[in-house]
Chain A
Amino acid sequence: EVQLVESGGGLVQPGGSLKLSCAASGFSFSGSDMHWVRQASGKGLEWVGRIRSKANSYATVYAASVQGRFTISRDDSKNTAYLQMNSLKTEDTAVYYCTRLGWLQYFDLWGRGTLVTVSS
């Protein structure tokens, strides 16, 4: 089955760290660009960042709101992408989705999301 499954969400205090995982199956993960998108409760979608495939040097880019605090990585041997979040702020509270940029250059596969709550 073609799917993405996020994990690692939870409650963390402001200033803390958390690492999310996105396990892929059923497609060529190593050849895919992977993105993270978040959604605060009752709000819209916000693009967080992406990592390209090995063929594109695993290049990463981030939204200004998370630049310098978040790091995206991947392990193609495990078909898994990661989102390392440091110096977390209350405004980072959201459901975090892992998503694949398909050959159409749009997000054609999404995980179910994992909830991150930043609160004291």
Chain B
Amino acid sequence: EIVLTQSPATLSLSPGERATLSCRASQSVSSYLAWYQQKPGQAPRLLIYDASNRATDIPARFSGSGSGTDFTLTISSLEPEDFAVYYCQQRSSWLTFGGGTKVEIK
């Protein structure tokens, strides 16, 4: 099973700041990696697919990069609605999720 490790567990930032989230895979997943956003009491929402492609209606401030084992989700300037938990997920070998990174208001 491919294990995805996300860091940091919690990121404390202010609105307008840049957020950088990391996801590391235990073995290569090529570019078969997605990022999801989940707000309290809501289902996850697909943000990024295949490492760097924004899903439909996702604002341009969200961007993804990486390949192989190291991936990054960047939020260029945090809006109030961006404070949430973010998960990475790979589909290279079956399906696994990372443990999540909580982006909280500082």
Give me the interface of A with B, judged by CB distance under 8 Å.
35, 37, 44-47, 61, 97, 99, 102, 104-108, 110-113
Q: How near does chain A come to B92, taking the closest CB pair, in angstroms? A: 11
Query: Do B46 and A45 touch (CB < 8 A)?
Result: no
Instruction: Kindly state the separation between the CA atoms of A47 and B36 in the bound complex, as whole angstroms.
Output: 14
Interface size on B, residues (CB 8 A): 21
By secondary structure, the A interface counts as strand
Least CB separation from B91: chain A residue: A105
In the complex, what's the smallest C-beta–C-beta distance from B28 to chain A, in angstroms? 17
Q: Name 24 A/B residue pairs within 8 A (Cβ), A-sorted.
A: A35-B95, A44-B87, A44-B97, A44-B98, A44-B99, A45-B44, A45-B87, A45-B97, A47-B95, A97-B43, A99-B43, A102-B46, A104-B49, A104-B55, A105-B49, A106-B46, A106-B55, A106-B89, A107-B34, A107-B46, A108-B46, A108-B55, A110-B44, A110-B45
Write the nearest CB–CB distance from A39 to chain B, whole angstroms. 9
By the criterion CB–CB under 8 Å, are A47 and B44 in contact? no
Chain B interface residues toward A at CB < 8 A: 32, 34, 36, 42-46, 49-50, 55, 87, 89, 91, 94-100
CB neighbours (8 Å) of B95 from chain A are 35, 47
Residue pairs across A and B with CB atoms within 8 Å: the count is: 49
Where chain B touches its partner, the secondary structure class is loop
B36 near A107 with CB under 8 A, answer yes
Min distance, Cβ A11 to any Cβ of chain B, angstroms: 20
User: Which B residues touch A61, using CB under 8 A?
Assistant: 94
Question: What's the Cα separation between A110 and B49 when bound, in Å?
Answer: 16
Complex Cα distance A107/B50, Å? 12
Given A47-B97, A107-B44, 16 extra CB contacts under 8 A: A37-B97, A44-B100, A45-B97, A61-B94, A97-B44, A99-B43, A104-B50, A106-B46, A106-B91, A107-B46, A107-B89, A110-B44, A110-B45, A111-B43, A112-B42, A112-B43
